[in-house]
Structure 1
Amino acid sequence: METLSYSVSTLPLFWLIFLFVYLVAYFGVFRNWSPKNRSEASSCLISLAHGTPACLLAAYAILKIDQSERSFASPNTSFQNMVLEFSIAYFLMDLLHYLIFFPADILFIAHHLATLFVFLTCRYMVFHGAFALLVLLVLAEITSGCQNIWTLASARRADVPAAARLYELLSPPFYAFYSVIRGLAGPAFVYKMGMFYASGAADSVIPRWLTVSWMVVVVMAISVSILWISNLWLELYRERSKKLEKKIT
């Protein structure tokens, strides 16, 4: 079993990397975009820099440990801690983005604060439970690449025909993929996680108040995701219905 690591945190280095990516995006890649789309696109670029790498790193951190260590109460390994720090750095950077450019977007700010609470307490307070959080990270970020490309296409679809075509092409498969992950796989794992913590099996290493807090955050995140994708399906249905009506008339 890999020993616990209390070495110097890699968090500052990861945060500086995400800051660099954001600045390159804002002052370079998207400098000719409108102010609102420019900041949103810069956020998408750091999300791209985080999402797929975080998914792969988390999956590797899960697969490299023995089956006996894959418990919701297992001690964090050094590599698991590093993956948590990678994600913490991203959420801190994106939180700063929202506080500067979209301070009224309470939902996203609350989401980032809640996610940071879970990751920070796991990494720096109890040093246990990373296995469960990394599985959730895989489920959350496996759709990230597609989602960010879809978001960028959506931002420019009104004035760039190619972006509009890409948006229309990506929407159905992205919605379907997201629905399976967030609507089926996510809730199934969260239920299993909740049953484990409710049994008290983790109480000796993770305080009950903390596992309850984690579960509240996770359930709320899953619920918001399901509501979001449901609204997108309804919007797609309305758009397709209008187009069909125009063809008929």
Structure 2
Amino acid sequence: MEILALSVPTLPVFFSMFLLIYLLAYFGVFRNWKPKIRLEASSCLISISHGTPAVFLATYAIVTHSQRGFASANTSFQNLVLEFSIAYFLMDVIHYLIFFPSDFTFIAHHLATLFVFVTCRYLVFHGAFAILTLLILAEVTSACQNTWTLASARRSDLATANKLYEILSPPFYTFYSVVRGLAGPFFVYEMGVFYFSGAADSVIPRWVWVSWMIVISTAISMSILWISNLWMELYRERTGQVKEKMR
């Protein structure tokens, strides 16, 4: 695997793979869906294709490397995983720039995430342990979240999708809340303590890790706000259903 990572230009290969998945989704899997939902569903499919494999790849890249520090040098396989994620975010941000250019929040999120991955992979060559751990925390909910998103997109015109959405919402919200609301902030706190001590300044320039901390903290905060709004919406829906039954 180390030889493969060094000899093959993996970023173009990964990007081509995600582009192919997107095209297959749009022109094949979701060809009978409404145009706007079809676009969203195609984005979801490449997200699923990235998310769960990224969790396994990142986990393997971490556990097979003896040095697991916030400033440790990247291994070839860790760089490979970073390129896998860079390719996905490039593909998805192009999708949003073309079809949903007004979605500034999502585009900004993807560009900021790309900045973190690209600087870790191509500029400082250190810190992959921290970035890949965050990737695991971010993508471990991917399959559940994208299934929920697809169900939500079709819930108004498909009874089974609405039923799946209602069944999946509470466990998905709980899982997401634990990962993004507890595990994520705790790990980011540990990163902050290490980086602000100056222990990484010799290998990761201060402006780089400060930028990472800003991007990551903002992303965590937005995730917590997003899931909080979903919890409130679910509460209003369930409360409304109870009141309707009592009439």
Q: CA deviation at 1:65?
A: 1.1
2:33 matches 1:33: yes
Secondary structure of the residue that 1:205 maps to in structure 2?
coil
**Deviations 1:103-132 (Å, cap 9, x if unpaired)?**
000000000000000000000011000000
Detail structure 1 runs of 4+ shifted over 4 Å in the superposition.
5-8
| Structure 2 residue corresponding to 1:147, chosen from 115, 135, 145 | 145
Question: Distance between the aligned counterparts of 1:7 and 1:216, measured in 2?
Answer: 34
Q: CA deviation at 1:8?
A: 5.0
The number of equivalent residue pairs is: 245
Secondary structure of the residue that 1:162 maps to in structure 2?
helix
Question: Distance between the aligned counterparts of 1:7 and 1:13, measured in 2?
Answer: 12
Specify the code of the residue in structure 2 equivalent to 1:178.
Answer: Y
Secondary structure of the residue that 1:89 maps to in structure 2?
helix
Question: Distance between the aligned counterparts of 2:122 and 2:138, measured in 1?
Answer: 22
Partner residue, 1:184: 182
Specify the code of the residue in structure 2 equivalent to 1:125.
Answer: L
Question: Distance between the aligned counterparts of 2:182 and 2:9, measured in 1?
Answer: 35
Partner residue, 1:53: 53
Secondary structure of the residue that 2:73 maps to in structure 1?
coil
Secondary structure of the residue that 1:65 maps to in structure 2?
coil
Specify the code of the residue in structure 2 equivalent to 1:16.
Answer: S
2:215 matches 1:222: no
Partner residue, 1:169: 167
Question: Distance between the aligned counterparts of 1:85 and 1:51, measured in 2?
Answer: 13
Partner residue, 1:42: 42
Question: Distance between the aligned counterparts of 1:60 and 1:6, measured in 2?
Answer: 18
Q: CA deviation at 1:9?
A: 3.4
- Calculate the aligned-residue CA RMSD, in Å: 1.2
Question: Distance between the aligned counterparts of 1:162 and 1:34, measured in 2?
Answer: 17
Q: CA deviation at 1:135?
A: 0.2
Unmatched 5+ stretches in structure 2: none
TM-score under structure 2 length normalisation: 0.97
Secondary structure of the residue that 2:18 maps to in structure 1?
helix
TM-score under structure 1 length normalisation: 0.97
Secondary structure of the residue that 2:69 maps to in structure 1?
coil
